[in-house]
Structure 1
Amino acid sequence: IEVIPCSKVAHIERFHKPYAPDLSALVRRNALRVAEVWMDDYKYNVEVAWNLPIGNHGIDIGDVSERKKLRERLKCKPFQWYLDNVYPMLELLQDLLGYGVHCYYLTDGKLYIGGIQSHKYSSNNCLVDPGSGVSPGLYQCNLAQQKKLHMFWDFKQGGQIQNRDTKRCLEVVLRDMYPRLVLQQCSGQRWTIQHVITAQKRHINSEKQVL
């Protein structure tokens, strides 16, 4: 396999899809089917890529027994052989104990999502309530502050995550077999974060208390 950075691949789709407006659920299911048939002990990498629980993704992938029999009849090599001989430079996740996106809750109410950068001009991403619609947004924190977006949240362990300005709450709903983060009117939502690391403030002028 050769990785060519400047190569371009285009996929022209029909403007109207009669079968499904959102193909993400179908693509995810197909990816899990491929992993189950071909990837042996490495199939968990697909679950991680789709942010699903390892070994218990809860998605019905259908019957793949015929596909596994086809693999046996064709005498296909194990997935490890392809890693060793076809694409040895691929680094797969090994000995994984946990995964997910880091979320930093600051003392002033900001929610940083993703990797946090220390430079004052860096583009950390903050979760905001756009004020309309059901989907929260991710904006560069400095840009969100300049535009005075709704970027401050109130949260205590076991309670709701409520935007201070709009008074709407974060909630997870299941859509197309996929959990999605949405904004709803507050109705007693409860959030219990299982893995929390509390960082105590060490400097008087420090703004952040990271969870």
Structure 2
Amino acid sequence: MAGGLFSIDREFFKKLGTYDDGFDIWGGENLELSFKTWMCGGTLEIIPCSHVGHIFRKRSPYKWRTGVNVLKRNNVRLAEVWLDEYSEYYYQRIGHDRGDYGDVSSRKRLREELGCKSFKWYLDNIFPELFIPGDAVASGEFWLYSKTGEIRRDEACLDYAGSDVILYPCHGAKGNQYWEYDPETNFVQHGSSKNCLAISEDKKKITVEKCSEENPRIKWKFEKFEATKKLQL
């Protein structure tokens, strides 16, 4: 949710260290405020009948420095302070190029003084339904194969309803989004149709075809497959 749509008790805001004064201009403050609210003893609630005023200026009063990606810089600061070992997933997305994100020692000290909980606590207790890339059974260059049989990228899953293979928001109910991967045959079999994921003859799109050992276009190999992480059927 946009940072400008939060309403927070003034004293609690001060206790949490207000905004990170090392942030540049814009970006990341909404995530930082959300995470530390939960992790440091508060709750974030949706109040349907509340009203928050949000005023946009006609022009930006800030001087944007050239050659600086302020959103990435802010997010790296956020990751360094609040995400613990889960920061690695963000760093993978930015090619591990953290750049110059400044000194975060005072923010880490603030977190320690407040006795805040770990980010794993946040995931386990506040957002347990979130898919964690590290929990994937297998992974490729961009795609992950989840314990619930999804082939997904972020919140989008491969979905097949009998015609085209499409990307559709992951719903967690298996059905059209359930795929069974066999590392011995290299088949990726669709759960309900029992046909296999394939690449078209012109190699321009993903299709579903009858499973056959003679068809090399239906054989897939993940770069990383961990047999010990079994599917949750």
Does TM, scored on the shorter chain, surpass 0.5? no
- Report the TM range for the smaller structure's normalisation: 0.3 to 0.5
User: TM-score under structure 1 normalisation?
Assistant: 0.39
- Please identify which structure carries the higher helix content: 2
